[in-house]
Structure 1
Amino acid sequence: MRPLKHVVFDMDGLLLDTERLYTQVYTELLAQWGKLFTMKFKLRLMGLSAAESAVLTVKEYELPVEPAEFQRMAMEKQLEAFKECSLMPGVERLLKHLASCHVPMAVATSSRKDTYTIKTASHPELFKLFTVVVNGDDPAVKRAKPFPDIFLTAAERLGVNPATCLALEDSPNGVRSALAAGMSVIWIPDAAHDFSVDHDDLLDHPEIQRLASLEDFRPEHWGLPSF
């Protein structure tokens, strides 16, 4: 593994326990039309923008609403659910450690700026540790994950070469985005999902290390300061 000097984090499902909230919201919405929200379909949504998720959901389930209306309905429920987002295991320890060692850090999240603000409101001191935050509705992000735009933008604003960055992700779309940007990747997938079916090309990739939790992350493996 080449030594790395900068770290770029996804947010939903990696830093904050929001993925279960997304599942709850989509399950409730689709139930209104007698539809079942499946984990297989959720994998296709992970990493997409809110608008792209709405378009794909309306098309997949043949819903009798326009994507913009579905997005509005989902956002209304999400904003209430996101008011108290808990941290994922290992997050606080890792962020404080990297910050104390002066490792530049960025967030590259598909969340819009307004929802990012709501989601992170319970943890202001931790999220102040990030040098850069790039949101999904940032004008520089022309294409959502799995395209590399958001990670390239994060590296550019850190003022560094993407090849010197380690990206941490939980979704296949996010992993592909970071790889396309030229970064090495820590992949912490949701244990409830079977990724071997549609994402087997990621399972043995030389620039990906899979972990069960951020608690298992060893910074020194990547040339970063050890705990």
Structure 2
Amino acid sequence: MTELKAFIFDVDGTLAETERDAHRVAFNDTFAENKLDWDWSIELYGELLAVTGGKERMKFYLERYRPDFPRPDDLDGFVAELHKQKTAHYTNLLVQHPIPLRPGVRRLLEEARREGIRLAIATTTTPQNVTCLLENSLAPESLDWFEVIAAGNAVPAKKPAPDIYHYALDKLELPAENCIAFEDSQNGIRSALAANLSTLITVSDYTRKEDFSGALLVLNHLGEPDQPFTVLAGEAGEANYVDLAMLRRLHNR
């Protein structure tokens, strides 16, 4: 029996539903501020999420949807500046209108802390975005709950490459078999599984129809005692919300 010692969480879509009404809005505000005739609808943004990383997503958008757009001489610099402005819009939005955590997230994090389970984050979003979400949606001091914040450009290759999870595991000084990853997307589970991590999926607004082959369990959310989860794939036994006891059973079966 392998001891479960740490949880590693993705952020966007996993801790909170930030994509549609926060990241997408921040991108569009940035485009408008720069007088760009780009508008990312809810449907289009779902397609763009196949590409991880905001800068990479903008470049993909130009290649796929806007071949007519005149490229500046320094495209990388242009995109990097837009992304910097987008991060400012995003963090301002979260300060003014905090996005609620998904069901069960706060409860599970608090239980993990009480029981000595170590916590880490592995995400493609920027460190500023992580900090802002945690401080405004979880608790002002909650950044300190996580031993490792693996975010943004900590590694060169973003999900679905496993690099960000390898980085988090190295910082935790733990092998993958002592950890569980929490994800919401196909790119996320591909990244985690490639790092040999057992992975629990809670599908998000944009990822419900994606392929989660290899997951420990696929749920609509982590659940609460008065708000049971729905199992979409896998076997949860008698449980109707995710807690440490359930995760230990999953980890060792």
TM-score, normalised relative to structure 2:
0.73
Q: Is the 8 A contact 1:107 1:132 kept in 2?
A: yes
CA distance in 1, matches of 2:114, 2:247: 17
From the superposition, tell whether residues 24 and 125 of structure 1 become closer, same or farther in structure 2 (CA, over 3 Å): same
User: Does residue 50 in structure 1 map to residue 54 in structure 2?
Assistant: yes
Displacement of 1:93 after TM fit?
0.7
Displacement of 1:145 after TM fit?
0.6
Gaps of 5+ in 2: 224-240
Higher mean C-alpha deviation, range 87-96 or range 18-27: 18-27
Displacement of 1:147 after TM fit?
0.4
Partner of residue 143 from structure 2, selected from 127, 135, 140: 127
Q: Is the 8 A contact 2:46 2:206 kept in 1?
A: no
Alignment of 1:1-227 (within 5 A): 4-19=4-19, 20-26=21-27, 33=37, 35=39, 37-39=41-43, 41-45=45-49, 48-62=52-66, 63-64=69-70, 66=75, 67-83=79-95, 84-122=98-136, 123-138=139-154, 141-191=155-205, 193-195=207-209, 199-200=210-211, 202=212, 205-215=213-223, 216-223=241-248
Cα-to-partner distance string for 1:4-49 (whole Å, 9 max, x where unaligned) = 3321001112113322312333456678626553536535426722
Displacement of 1:221 after TM fit?
3.3
CA distance in 1, matches of 2:60, 2:14: 23
Secondary structure, counterpart of 1:137 in structure 2:
helix
CA distance in 2, matches of 1:2, 1:210: 22
Q: Is the 8 A contact 1:107 1:154 kept in 2?
A: yes
CA distance in 2, matches of 1:76, 1:158: 30
What letter matches 1:125 in structure 2? E
Gaps of 5+ in 1: none
Displacement of 1:3 after TM fit?
6.0
Identity %: 27
CA distance in 2, matches of 1:56, 1:159: 35
Answer 1 or 2: higher relative contact order, Cα 8 Å, separation at least 6: 1
How large is the RMSD of aligned CA atoms in angstroms?
2.9
Displacement of 1:175 after TM fit?
1.2
Q: Work out which of the two has the higher radius of gyration on C-alpha atoms and give 1 or 2.
A: 2
Secondary structure, counterpart of 1:156 in structure 2:
helix
What letter matches 2:94 in structure 1? F
